[in-house]
Amino acid sequence: MTTLAANTAGSIRAATVAGGTWAYLTSPRGELHAALVAGGLLLTGFVVRQADAGLGSAMIWASLALGLFHGGRAAWEAISARKLDIDVLMVVGALAAARMGHPAEGALLLFLFVLSGALEALAMARTTRAVEALHKLMPTYAERWVGEGAGGEAWEKIAPEALEPGDLIRIPPGESVPADATVAEGTSSINQANLTGESMPRTVRPGDPLYAGTINVGDPLRACVTRRARESSLQKILDLVTTAQQQREPVQRLIDRISEPYAIAVLAVSLAVLLVWWLVLGDSFHEAAFAATTLLIVASPCAVIIATPTATLAGIARAARAGVLFKGGQAIERLARLGAIAFDKTGTLTIGKPRVRQLHPVGWSNEEALLEAAAGLEQESTHPIAAAVRDAARERGLTPLAVAEPGFTVGRGVSGSIEGKAARLGNLIFTEELIPVCLRARVREVLAGVQQRGQIGSVIVWNEQAGVIILADSVRPGAERLVRDLHALGVRPVVMLTGDNRATAAAVAAGLGLDEFHAEMLPQDKVDAVERLKARLTKGSSRSAAGVIGDGVNDAPALAAADVSIAIGSIGSDAALESADIVLLADDLGAIPWAVGLARRTRRTILFNLCFALGAIVVMAAAVLIGSRTGRPLPLWMGVLGHEGGTLLVVANSLLLLVAGGVPAATAVRD
């Protein structure tokens, strides 16, 4: 069983490439078809035997032989490796049944055994489709600029692996981005759904990043390659998911360690039953062998061994489709125990990019004139506030005023000359000497109100006029419902840790309904706060894990201190992909409660699978032993159906995780 289940999507693809009858027969799909043929022969043999005993028996033995081809191959591989596993137990059970004159029961056992093994392999292949989808995203070619020719620009088609940082590439509409790059020319929309789960394309302009495997759904773009294809974000994500699917939960590691000793114990107990029933209790050899064979079949732990990996892989695959990357079963297990959580503010709860929220003219004729002057002063600046001012002017369709003699004072602001008159934009200390005396008190009053609300105020002065540009960071999509959804899951408290000033932190915390916030913190302060948060939780309970969510870069110490660490909005962040237990590729905070819910559902599925599988073994083994001593032996076919049917039910229950609901759509962003 375990050997069959180990043949995942990779072996299916390898079998297809290799070709040939043997490759087909030994693939999971070939095993499935062989099992169906064996089942058909067995059913037909039962029917035909009523009219023609010889022909019917021949068909039953043919079914048994076909089952032995696949079951025996797996058993021989185990024996060759000097292992005694479930594959060996099943073949021994089938041969023993046939030897006792029950070839139909032996054929039924191998039919269901091979069928369940093939279905397990195909089910696991289905759970790896997230990896297959990422493989399909890998671009197959790139168009690289090679220079100017007689007929104009010359471009060559090359393999993405041949691209080097600094190469200029073009990306036509409908084509994939061949490597991580930065837009050099053009404006377009990029579909990132296969990587982040985001339903809406992202608008990109010159200077914006592009990621390998995303699709240009708008106008043509030219871009400058920033990383080789093998170092791209897509490749890192692919490696992460592949590694995650190879990791095992603590429960599964325990099962792996005890599976071989358990199989030996089952064989030993079955042999002991045979000898005791025959030599001590006086049963006939046939009756004793019948009881021992039935016990061997029903006590085999097929369902136990498959209970954890199928559920874990299904959970990882479902999360990956939604842009949530679990780094293995341990990450799922820890997230399922989440009882309290701490968020960084800038770049996590908020986008980390200020936007102009309000224009407050003080002695200015109108807002448009104020913004035109401000955009002119910020035209050459790379500061985030400058970008916000320029964006606000562009959104309103305004043209920045021409500025002469532009200057920049670190930590203070920008200056220049507009229409021959001095102009400044920045903090109050930098701009105050140009503010008319009659307007200074009003400017201070407006700035005081801005600071109380936790916003940012930037003063602009020109031509005896003054104004205050009010900016604020935007919370991420999904933040509106974040605390409510986490509380509904029993995660409390929800805490914010930030190095920002107290007024700004208080405003964000109040707006989102956070339980607590701690401001003006250094990295070590955040680590101490995480340790205190962990101490508040009850150890050993189902809600004993403390989580930290950050951007994966400057929050590294706090992430390392947490029981479970999550990096958000980090498709292009190598640090996040490497440091966090879980990575959210999209910006939607609503994915966090959803991921917690999925982790808990996965754990419940594993627990149910294990309890069901172990309970079925105990009940059926007891029925075999009690029935054999009371003169009502459990029919061999019933033991076969109970054992293999339980395995199929466990697999089907795990696959339900693949149809778990998606991340709820983000609500409107609130300032």
Instruction: Report pLDDT digits (tens) over 387-415.
Output: 889 999 999 899 999 999 888 876 678 99
What are the beta bridge partners of residue 32?
A: none
Q: Which two tokens stand for residue 671?
A: 């300032």
Looking at residue 468, its pLDDT comes to 92
Are both 120 and 10 inside the same structural domain?
yes
Looking at residue 622, its pLDDT comes to 92
Active site residue 500: no
Single out the residue of 46, 38, 7 nearest to residue 110, CA to CA: 38
Tokens 């699917």, residue located? 245
Rounded to the nearest integer, the mean pLDDT of the chain is 80
Q: Which two tokens stand for residue 33?
A: 């078809």
Single out the residue of 118, 117, 110, 116 nearest to residue 41, CA to CA: 110
Are both 363 and 467 inside the same structural domain?
yes
Does a structural domain hold residue 99? Answer: yes
Angle of helix 9-18 versus helix 28-49 axis, rounded to 10? 90
Distances (CA, A) of 225 to 153, 155, 193, 374: 18, 15, 21, 34
Are both 579 and 618 inside the same structural domain?
no
What's the CA gap between 258 and 97, in Å, rounded?
A: 27
For the chain, give the percent of residues with pLDDT over 70: 83
Catalytic residue chosen out of the listed positions 167, 344, 581, 588: 344
What's the CA gap between 109 and 128, in Å, rounded?
A: 29
Are both 22 and 74 inside the same structural domain?
yes
* The pLDDT of residue 134 is above 70: no
Task: Report, as an integer, the average pLDDT of 120-136.
Answer: 56
Distances (CA, A) of 494 to 413, 509, 631: 36, 10, 62
Winning range, highest mean pLDDT, from 40-54, 140-154, 429-443, 465-479: 429-443
Q: Please count the structural domains in the chain.
A: 4
Band of residue 215 on the pLDDT scale cut at 50, 70, 90: confident
Q: Where are the beta strands (DSSP E) in 273-389?
A: 324-326, 338-344, 350-362
Does a structural domain hold residue 598? Answer: no
Are both 168 and 69 inside the same structural domain?
no
CATH classification at residue 400: 3.40.1110.10
Winning range, highest mean pLDDT, from 241-255, 344-358, 433-447: 433-447
* The pLDDT of residue 196 is above 70: no
Looking at residue 593, its pLDDT comes to 92
Q: pLDDT (tens digit, 9 = 90+) per residue, 498-557?
A: 877 787 788 888 888 999 999 877 777 888 899 999 999 887 778 889 999 887 555 667
What's the CA gap between 650 and 120, in Å, rounded?
A: 10
Maximum Cα–Cα distance across the chain: 117
* The pLDDT of residue 373 is above 80: yes
Pairing status of strand 545-550 against strand 564-568: parallel
Are both 423 and 467 inside the same structural domain?
yes
Are both 115 and 23 inside the same structural domain?
yes
Looking at residue 272, its pLDDT comes to 93
Does a structural domain hold residue 290? Answer: yes
Task: Please list, in sequence order, all residues whose beta carbon lies within 8 angstroms of the beta carbon of residue 631, skipping any fewer than 6 positions away.
Answer: none
Single out the residue of 394, 194, 218 nearest to residue 204, CA to CA: 218
Task: Report, as an integer, the average pLDDT of 141-169.
Answer: 84
Band of residue 164 on the pLDDT scale cut at 50, 70, 90: very high
User: DSSP state, 82?
Assistant: T
Looking at residue 584, its pLDDT comes to 83
What's the CA gap between 119 and 34, in Å, rounded?
A: 12
Looking at residue 154, its pLDDT comes to 84
Are both 388 and 528 inside the same structural domain?
no
Are both 572 and 624 inside the same structural domain?
no
* The pLDDT of residue 1 is above 70: no
What's the CA gap between 264 and 169, in Å, rounded?
A: 61
Q: Is 463 left (phi over 0), alpha (psi -120 to 50) or beta?
A: left
Distances (CA, A) of 366 to 351, 362, 466: 30, 9, 11
- Phi and psi for 215 in degrees, rounded to 5? -120, 135
Task: Report, as an integer, the average pLDDT of 55-81.
Answer: 82
CATH classification at residue 163: 2.70.150.10
Tokens 């990096």, residue located? 567
Are both 512 and 567 inside the same structural domain?
yes
The residue ranking higher by pLDDT, 297 or 25, is 297
Q: Is 280 left (phi over 0), alpha (psi -120 to 50) or beta?
A: alpha
Pairing status of strand 494-497 against strand 338-344: parallel
Does a structural domain hold residue 670? Answer: no
The residue out of 474, 509, 533 marking a domain boundary is 474
Task: Report, as an integer, the average pLDDT of 225-230.
Answer: 88
Does a structural domain hold residue 286? Answer: yes
Band of residue 3 on the pLDDT scale cut at 50, 70, 90: very low
Band of residue 17 on the pLDDT scale cut at 50, 70, 90: very low
The residue ranking higher by pLDDT, 106 or 324, is 324
How many Cβ atoms are within 10 Å of 163's Cβ, its own excluded? 23
CATH classification at residue 566: 3.40.50.1000
Are both 383 and 294 inside the same structural domain?
no
The residue out of 199, 232, 265 marking a domain boundary is 232
The residue ranking higher by pLDDT, 383 or 646, is 646
Distances (CA, A) of 307 to 324, 334, 337: 23, 19, 20
Are both 307 and 342 inside the same structural domain?
no
Contact yes or no for 70/31 (Cβ under 8 A): yes
pTM listed for this prediction: 0.66
Domain of residue 457: give its range.
Answer: 351-474
The residue ranking higher by pLDDT, 75 or 535, is 535
* The pLDDT of residue 49 is above 90: no
The residue out of 474, 493, 526 marking a domain boundary is 474
* The pLDDT of residue 168 is above 90: yes
Looking at residue 130, its pLDDT comes to 47
Q: pLDDT (tens digit, 9 = 90+) per residue, 458-515?
A: 999 998 899 999 988 777 777 878 899 999 999 999 999 887 778 778 888 888 899 9
Does a structural domain hold residue 62? Answer: yes
What are the beta bridge partners of residue 143?
A: 157, 170
Does a structural domain hold residue 384? Answer: yes
Find the helix or strand (DSSP H, E) in which 67 lies.
helix 53-80
The residue ranking higher by pLDDT, 260 or 342, is 342
Does a structural domain hold residue 29? Answer: yes
